Structure 1
Amino acid sequence: MLGFSAVAKALSFADAARELRVSASTLSRRVARLEAALGTALLRRTTRHVSLTEAGALYLERCTDVLHRVEEAEALVSGLGGDPKGRLRVALPNLFGQLHVAPLIPDFMRRYPRIELELTFQDRYVDLVEEGVDVAIRIGALPDSSLVARRLATVRRLLVASPRYLRGRKPPARPQDLSAHPCLQFSHFADGETWTFSRGAERATVRVRPALRADNAEALRLAALGGCGVSALATFLVGEDVRAGRLVRVLEDWSIPEVGVFAVHPPGRLVASKARAFVAFVAERLAGEPWDSP
C-alpha cells in the first residue's frame, strides 16, 4: 500500500523507488502483487508514463487515510516510551508562518530531534484529512466544523495609509468617510468589503470600495507603502512601519475586531505525541503576543 501510494503521487516508479530507497523493479513487483490481490489494475503503465486507473484513484484516496492512521498510531505508541518521533506535516499561513513560526523551528528541532517536520506555507484553505496534514495554524474566525481547535494568540489589525497617500487629502474623520477612499482588501478575511469598527459603545459598519484585492497581506502592505490607499493590516505585519513613520494610523480612536490564531487538527483520530508537542511548543512561544503593537 505504501509503495502504491508513493508511485501514485509521483506518477513515476523511479522517483517513488528513490523516495522509498528500494529498486524500481522491487517496487514494481510489490505493486503488481497488490493489484493481483485486489483483482484489478490500479495503474496504467507505458514506457514513458504512469497514470491512475479509476480504481487506483479510489484506492489512493482510502489508503492515504489508512497510512496516515498507521503512522499516527505508531508515533503515539512509540512516544509513550520516549521522545516524540516520526514525520509531522504542518500547514501554515504564508506570511504569519514565515514571520512568527519559522523562527521557532530551529529550537523545536533541537528539542525534538526525532521529529521530521514537513512544513507548507500557503494562505489557501487546506483540507487536513484529504491532504494528510497533522496540524494547521489558521488566522481568523473558524467556520463551524468538526476540527479541534486551540487558540494560540490574538491578532490586532490597524487601519493604515502612507504619508504620501494622505498628503493633500482630507483623512477620514469617521468610518463612513472610508467610502470616499480607495481601500486595499485582504481576500481571505471573512468581513470582505464590509468593515466593522467600534469605539466604546459605538459601532459602525461601512461598505468600502476596494481598489485592490489580494490574497497576500505583504502585497497589500507594499501597496499601502506605495500610496495606493487605506488598508486594515495586522500589527505583526505593519507595526514596525507605523513606528518608523512609513505608515500612519487612520481613525486611530476606532478599533477593528481582533482575530484569533488557532492550531487545528482533525477529531476522532489518535492525536500523536509529535502533534501535541508541536502545538504546545508554538502555544508557549506565542503566548503574550510576541509582536509589538503600536
Structure 2
Amino acid sequence: MGVERLELRDRLEDMLAFSAVARALSFADAARELRVSASTLSRRVARLEAALGAALLRRTTRRVSLTEAGTLYLERCTDVLQRLEEADALVSGFGGAPRGRLRVAVPNLFGQRHIAPLVPDFMRRYPRITLELSFQDRYVNLVEEKFDVAIRIGALPDSSLVARRLATIRRFLVAAPRYPRGREALAQPGDLAAHPCLQFSHFQDGETWTLVRGVERTTVRIHPVLRTDNAEALRLAALGGCGVSALATFLVDDDLRTGRLIRILEDWALPEVGLFAVHPPSRLVSPKARVFVDFLAERLAGEPWERSGAVRPRRARKQGVAGGVSLRQRGAQ
C-alpha cells in the first residue's frame, strides 16, 4: 500500500502533534500546550508527512500554515482524537465517581453571581473532577477551544450543538425610585420615547425595545443614552437615576426587594429568554459533563434568584435530568 504502516501508538502521537500545531499555527505554542519540545513536535509532524506522502504544513521562518491536504487531514484527526477522548471518558465513568478535567465557559456576570457560589458544593460532591471555569460573555467555539460545556443566555443559533434548558431569564423595565420625578409619567410603552433609556446591546439591537403583556406584543422606539454589553454597568447607571433600563431578574432581584430599584410599566416586560447548557454533539457524553449539567439543573430549577415579591415569581417548573436535544432537531429556543 502507498501509506507506510506505523505502530498505532506512533500514529496517534503524530496525529496529536500535527493537530496541536495546526490549531495553534505555531510549533512553540503547541509545544507549550503538550509540554514537549518544539523539535519533538517537528520530528513527529515530519514523520507523519513522510508516512502519508503529503505535506500537511507550510513552514517559513515567520509563520506556519495548512496546506490543502493538511486542512482535510486536520478535520479527520480532530474527529478521531475527539472520539478517542470520549471513549476514554465514558469508560472511566464505570470505574467509580466521574473524574478528570472539566472545562466550562459561563457568562461573566451570571457566572459570578449564580454559578460560582455553587462550585464548592459541586466540588464536594465530585472530588475527582478538576473544574476549570472560564468567565466570558463571548460565544466560545466549544470544539476548537476544547470546552466540555458552555452556559448561554438568550436565543441559540441553529447548530449541531446539543442544548438543555436550565431555567428561564425574565427581564423587566426598572429605574431608581427618584428617577421619574420631574418627568412626564410613564403610563404606556409609547411614553418611553420621551425618556432616557439604558440599553443592553447583547439582547437588544438598534433603538427599539419589544415589550409583551400577556398575549400583547409591541415594539417601541427608545432614546438610548447608554448602550453597553455589560449588564452591571447598566444596573449601576439605573441605580444612579440615569434612566430606564431593561434588566434580568437574576441581576436586580435584591434591588427590587430592597427598593433600590422599582419596576416601570409593571404590566409589561421584555420577552423571556432561556438559560441553556450546551455541549458538542456526541453519542458519548462524558460522565463529568453529564453530572455537571444535572447538578446545575437541580440547583437552578425554578429560577432561584427570583426571591422578591416584586418580581412575582411563578411556580417552579419540574426539571428532568434527561440528556439534551440537538438544536437542529428543535430549533433555537
TM-score by length of 1: 0.85
**For residues 99-248 of structure 1, what are the structure 2 equivalents within 5 Å?**
99-189=113-203, 193-198=208-213, 202-248=216-262
- What's the offset of the Cα at 1:265? 2.3
**Whole-angstrom distance in 2 between the partners of 1:75 and 1:288:** 31
Q: Which residue of 1 aligns with 2:67?
A: 54
**For residues 38-49 of structure 1, what are the structure 2 equivalents within 5 Å?**
38-45=52-59, 49=62
Find 2:101's aligned residue among 69, 80, 87.
Answer: 87
**For residues 282-293 of structure 1, what are the structure 2 equivalents within 5 Å?**
282-291=296-305, 292-293=307-308
**Whole-angstrom distance in 1 between the partners of 2:227 and 2:80:** 40
- What's the offset of the Cα at 1:179? 1.6
CA RMSD after TM alignment: 2.7
- Residue 64 in 1 paired to residue 86 in 2? no
Q: Which residue of 1 aligns with 2:278?
A: 264
Q: Is 1:43–1:50's contact at 8 Å kept on the other side of the alignment?
A: no
Q: Is 2:196–2:243's contact at 8 Å kept on the other side of the alignment?
A: yes
**Which letter maps to 2:127?**
P
Structure 1 residues without counterparts, runs of 5 or longer: none
**Whole-angstrom distance in 2 between the partners of 1:190 and 1:160:** 16
Q: Call closer, same or farther: CA 1:104–1:60 in 2, change over 3 Å.
A: farther
Identity %: 77
- Residue 20 in 1 paired to residue 34 in 2? yes
Q: Call closer, same or farther: CA 1:13–1:116 in 2, change over 3 Å.
A: farther
**For residues 28-39 of structure 1, what are the structure 2 equivalents within 5 Å?**
28-39=42-53
- Residue 279 in 1 paired to residue 279 in 2? no
TM-score by length of 2: 0.76
Q: Is 2:166–2:275's contact at 8 Å kept on the other side of the alignment?
A: yes
Q: Call closer, same or farther: CA 1:22–1:178 in 2, change over 3 Å.
A: same
Q: Which residue of 2 aligns with 1:4?
A: 18
Q: Is 2:105–2:133's contact at 8 Å kept on the other side of the alignment?
A: yes
**Whole-angstrom distance in 2 between the partners of 1:126 and 1:17:** 23
The farther-off stretch of 226-235 and 55-64 is: 55-64
Structure 2 residues without counterparts, runs of 5 or longer: 1-14, 311-333
